[in-house]
Structure formats: C-alpha cells, structure tokens
Amino acid sequence: MRTKRLVLAGIAALALALAGGGGTALAVNGGEPPAAAGETAGGGAREAAAVQAPDLPAASLTAGPRVVRPYQPVEIGQGARMGLLPEGRQNYVVAWENYAESVERAKGYAGDSIRPDSLSGGLHTEGDDALYTGAFRTETVPARITLRIDGGAAVEASMLRLPGDPGWGTYYAFGDASAADTGVTVTAYAEDGGVLFEQHADASPRD
C-alpha cells in the first residue's frame, strides 16, 4: 500500500493535509499512525459498543452525505473501512485491518483542523487501485462532491457525516492507480447545482 498526501489549493482557501498525519488517524493495513502528544488510552464497554453500532436509518433518498454514528465502521470498498470520530476536528480513520484499534488511537488526535470551505485529501494506491479520501468543512452541507482526475471524466464521490450539524464530513472515491501521479480537482456542489468550492490537488512524492 502506497500512501500520498494531496496538496490542495483552493480558490478562497488553502488546505494542506497529510493522510495519516495532522491528527487524522489513517491505518494502512492495520499500521499505527504517527504518535500524537496527549494521546490517551481509550476503551471500555461504551466505546467498544459504539464501534459496532448499526447503521442509522436513511433519512431520505436525496443527495448528500450518508449520516453514520460516531465510530461506526463503514465498508467503503476493496476491504477498507472508514469511521468518523466526535473527538477532535474533522477526525476520521480509514483502515484495512484492526479498525477498532485505529479508532481507539484516533481518539487522542486533534484531527485535520482544516479551514472553512476547504478540504483535506489523501491518496492510497495498491496494485491497479487508487482510493481518494478526505474531509470537507463547509457551512452548507454539500449535496455532492466530484473528483476530476487529470482533466478526465468526473467521478462521483461518496460522503459521510455525523448526526446533527457537525459542520464537516468525509468523502471517498476510487480511481485507477495509473493516474495516481497526476492532479485531481475536487468540487463540492450545493443542492441547486451551484459550486460551493473547488480545489485542485497535486500528488506529493511517495511518503
């Protein structure tokens, strides 16, 4: 598994994020994310139960992020699971193995702490597959997010957010690893089709 950061330049804001760093706990094949100051040992029956919480009922069939419970392991494809944490700022995990352990470690992280109307991004490749993930922070919840890789056709991203009005959520989309070394443009849209914000990302050298 190769992990890269995406350097995202926005029209009105600049967001820099390292997938697995900056507070976001990203577990690649069960690997442990970088240590963070103030990390505490979590655990207990409540947390263990939360990790295995069932899906929330679908509120509607309209566009927008899927609402999930804190710590809920969401199968996002190709063996990866994503979970959103109430602790920290835009704090989430992506794990292929040891999901519960990744969540416990992430509780001591600050999160991405990205600016308003911006997003973070990460790119993970294995074989012919590429997985783009990140967090968005917007005043208006996006109805949809698309990724346009190297000027090609737009790919629809899936989105997750926590209940209530957390002011942030995550997105993910799969692509072809052969285009992983090229740029990607991420666009968030409002319900009326208007662009909320758009950012272009250049993949960094291999981490």
pLDDT tens digit string along 4-48? 445 454 433 333 332 333 334 444 434 433 333 233 333 333 333
Measured CA to CA, the distance from residue 139 to residue 124 in angstroms comes to 28
Q: What is the pLDDT of residues 99-130, one digit of tens each?
A: 999 999 999 887 778 899 888 888 888 888 88
What is the three-class DSSP state of 179? helix
Q: Residue 158's closest CA among 74, 86, 99, 92?
A: 74
Residue range 59-70: average pLDDT?
A: 76
DSSP string, 23-35: T-EEESTTPPPPP
pTM score: 0.73
- Asked if residue 186 lies in contact with residue 196, where contact means CB atoms within 8 angstroms, the answer is no
110 neighbors 90 (Cβ within 8 angstroms): no
Decide the pairing of beta strands 92-95 and 118-119.
unpaired
Q: Give the 3-state secondary structure of residue 58.
A: coil
Distance CA 139, CA 120 (A): 16
CA–CA gap between residue 162 and residue 175 (Å, rounded): 25
pLDDT tier, 152 (very low <50, low <70, confident <90, very high otherwise): confident
Written as six digits, the tokens of 201 are 């990302």
